Amino acid sequence: MDPMDIVGKSKEDASLPKATMTKIIKEMLPPDVRVARDAQDLLIECCVEFINLISSESNEVCSREDKRTIAPEHVLKALEVLGFGEYIEEVYAAYEQHKLETMDTLKGGGKWNGTEMSEEEAAAEQQRMFAEARARMNGGGVAAPKQQTENDRSLES
């Protein structure tokens, strides 16, 4: 029996948000390059398959350690076992960054600097995070500077 069937979902049910994936694909390419819809669909399917592969191996690593919860260490070990060891440092750095950003959000109760972000500020923050991710993906490793928001300016006063 396929493990995906155990939880009531077939492999075909697993997918990623198409609009988000299309945006990521387009952002990684030069502006003058177009991607055929079939190629976008294939890339999305590859991403889903990669996630399934890493998840499955992470589960195996977790099981060998007699654990019931997959931890980040299990995912990193799975990357190594599957021959993706060269990505472990970048993945770990992204994980650490995610933890810091999540901690900031949790401390503020889902708010930034004690106040809610406006839609424009949230969009600017999202673009900054996309730029950071792009820099990491392109090997630059240099984070884009954080844009000062209206809330940041009011706190400085």
| Among 99, 107, 98, CA closest to 133 | 98
The one-digit pLDDT tens for each residue of the chain (157 residues) are 344 443 444 556 678 899 999 999 999 999 999 999 999 999 999 999 999 999 999 999 999 999 999 999 999 999 999 999 999 999 999 999 999 888 876 666 544 454 577 888 888 888 888 888 888 878 654 444 455 555 455 455 4
pTM for the full predicted model: 0.58
| Among 99, 98, 96, 90, CA closest to 138 | 90
Tokens 């060891």 found at? 85
Given a contact cutoff of 8 angstroms between Cβ atoms, the answer to whether 95 and 74 are in contact is no
Own/partner pairs, 17-20, CB within 8 angstroms, 24+ separation: 18/44
CA–CA gap between residue 108 and residue 114 (Å, rounded): 6
